[in-house]
Structure 1
Amino acid sequence: MILVTGATGFVGSALVARLAREGTETRACVRRNGASLPDGVHTVQVAGLTADTDWRHALAGVAVVVHAAARVHVMVDAATDPLAEFRRVNVDGTLNLARQAAAAMVKRFVFISSVKVNGEATLPGRPFTADDAPAPLDPYGVSKMEAEQGLRQIAAQTGMAVVIIRPPLVYGPGVKANFAALMRAVQRGWPLPLGAVHNQRSLVALDNLVDFIVTCITHPQAANQTFLVSDGHDLSTTELVRGLARAARMPVRLLPVPVWALRAGAALLGKGDAVQRLCGNLQVDISKARSLLGWTPPISVDDGLRRAVAGMGKS
């Protein structure tokens, strides 16, 4: 039996669907009854992800936990103390679940972390690796790093294997936020000032991430390892927009505005972080996943973009 937390979220729902298709006995954690899940998937209602949550009923008979639930990164956080709020859910809640999982004799705990544990940007040709020293810069990244550290301690104390997966930006059917906004702009044929952005960024298609999680559920060499995951083919923002336009079968309308001008305009508008994400480098090296697990991304970037665009009407 596999327990999936965050089972109705972007990643969790796709993972549950994949496990159901393969006939894997799966239990999905939901916060309220009535969630739409594939036939054959067991559900268990859990009030929330806190230091006090009782997971005994959810963990009964479970061999592997995939922990995808989290307080997620937000662009504008209304909390008076964002780090405390992230820690309450992502650290205290996660470690409470892991301790109870170990006590319930769960064999493996797969934790969906974030590339933000590594940092926010890379130098050209210097991608992050899974074994780099952590350097998170925001409260969300700090909370994920602290959760990882606590999980490794629990693994050492109890013998429960822990697998940590740090994805970069995940895209696919139902994607939200900035990626969805960019897809809509391309589909509507809006001219975009992104024709001269020659950065390199790693992304991961939802199907590729789910496939990697499934690999980490069973692969013996994944135990007690940390992995970065991506599509294995990095893109500039200009290339990404062109790829989305091809997927949408729309003409691309790119204006070659210099990056310095984009940064200057963004600074005046207080949007410097947004332009950094569009213009900066963030690359990850997935050679550890390839060599240790023999894993390769099953779908290409073009296929991933086509699936994301096709899923726009379903989001």
Structure 2
Amino acid sequence: MFDGARVLVAGSTGLIGVNLIQRLLREGANVRATLYRNPALIQDDRIDYRTVDLTSAEDCRRVVEGVDYVFMCAANTSGAAVMQNSPLSHVTPNVLMNTQLMQAAYDAKVRKYCFISSSAAYPPSDDRPVREDEMFAGDPYDVYFPVGWMKRYVEVLCRMYAEKIRPPMPTVVIRPSNIYGPFDKFDPKTSHVTAALVRRVATGENPMSIWGTGRDVRDLIYVDDFIDGMLTVFRAVETHDAVNIASGVGVTVRQVLEELIDIDGLGDVRVDYDTTKPQMIPIRLIDTAYAEERYGFRAKTSLRDGLSRTLDWYRRHGRTHPR
């Protein structure tokens, strides 16, 4: 599908974007990639980098001109502290970027469009993995309310372009669990929990203070598996679909940290859990049955293998990584 195709990756320096570009290049795609504040992370003559502001309609029109497929991986994201203290930082710029780029893609007659949504947009489901058809069954958790409804709004736009107007533009919505791996955000100001733990173990931090109880449960998917799942779905969808892409296994923060310490061979590490710091919801899991039954996708990388690869990558590249 991608051999010789012209593919735009919006958000080329993020975890998804940079790993997606590497995969597309291996599949023979002609990649155009957007930059904003951060420099390019992959130096390759086959990549056509464009520095743009995706909140600008004119920039969006220029960057989608002549492309076949669009992967919208650009987003204003951050960790729990920023989400709690500045919730609108996840709303206003993201709504602008997504509405402008999708309209530009439609006007440019893009053949198919992919939007990366979020499992944070789902309503509470207690300790049960939530299914795709439950997205609008209730409000998101309060802590995710702003970013959750932003993602939902863009999901509705995707369905509208694919099903409610003529001619349609096929759209794919991917709802990931917690992705981790090479090129993640390791900066303590912006990192999510897995990347933060990788950095702290790699640097030999001891004692280690962890926000929360450490008993929060998440589904972690290694980035290579996520890219596999996203492209599998993207190839197959002809009109519109929204699909969970996850490992299907729930793990606690404590389990992740213990696995990392064991892989690293750190020995005795004193870990203090600070329950006064911002915490998210205790359990967030998404159901993977639809992705497996409809598209034949199942994650392959074990937590230990994924963490080991990420730890090794961080040791070799992470300290000079710009984020």
Same fold (TM over 0.5): yes
Structure 2: 5+ residue stretches without partners: 1-5, 319-323
3-state SS in 2 of match to 1:207: helix
| Distance of 1:92 and 1:181 partners within structure 2 | 29
Q: Which amino acid aligns with 1:115?
A: S
Deviation at 1:254, TM superposition (A): 7.1
Aligned partner of 1:286 in structure 2 is 288
Aligned partner of 2:25 in structure 1 is 20
> Which structure carries more strand by proportion?
2
Structure 1: 5+ residue stretches without partners: none
Q: Which amino acid aligns with 1:228?
A: N
Aligned partner of 2:47 in structure 1 is 42
Aligned partner of 1:182 in structure 2 is 197
Aligned partner of 1:110 in structure 2 is 114
3-state SS in 2 of match to 1:288: helix
Pair 1:225 & 2:241 matched: yes
Aligned length: 296
Of residues 231, 235, 238, the one that matches 1:214 is: 231
Deviation at 1:252, TM superposition (A): 6.0
Pair 1:29 & 2:46 matched: no
CA RMSD of aligned residues (A): 3.0
| Distance of 1:192 and 1:32 partners within structure 2 | 31
Deviation at 1:289, TM superposition (A): 0.8
Deviation at 1:59, TM superposition (A): 1.9
**Cα-to-partner distance string for 1:220-241 (whole Å, 9 max, x where unaligned):** 36x4111111123222333222
| Distance of 2:228 and 2:77 partners within structure 1 | 22
**Cα-to-partner distance string for 1:102-142 (whole Å, 9 max, x where unaligned):** 121111111011111114x6422x11111213333332222
| 8 Å contact kept, 1:112–1:166 | yes
Deviation at 1:152, TM superposition (A): 1.6
Q: How many percent of aligned residue pairs carry the same amino acid?
A: 27
Aligned partner of 1:167 in structure 2 is 176
| Distance of 1:253 and 1:80 partners within structure 2 | 31
- Larger displacement relative to structure 2 (51-60 or 200-209): 51-60
Q: Which portions of structure 1, spanning 4 or more consecutive aligned residues, are displaced by more than 6 angstroms? A: 78-81
- Larger displacement relative to structure 2 (282-291 or 242-251): 242-251
- Larger displacement relative to structure 2 (291-300 or 235-244): 235-244
Aligned partner of 1:132 in structure 2 is 134
| Distance of 1:64 and 1:160 partners within structure 2 | 11
Pick closer, same or farther for the CA change 1:226–1:250 going to 2, 3 Å.
same
Pick closer, same or farther for the CA change 1:298–1:252 going to 2, 3 Å.
farther
Aligned partner of 2:57 in structure 1 is 52
Pick closer, same or farther for the CA change 1:53–1:46 going to 2, 3 Å.
farther
Aligned partner of 1:99 in structure 2 is 103
Q: Which amino acid aligns with 2:112?
A: R
Pair 1:240 & 2:243 matched: no
3-state SS in 2 of match to 1:28: strand
| 8 Å contact kept, 1:129–1:285 | yes
| 8 Å contact kept, 2:18–2:41 | no
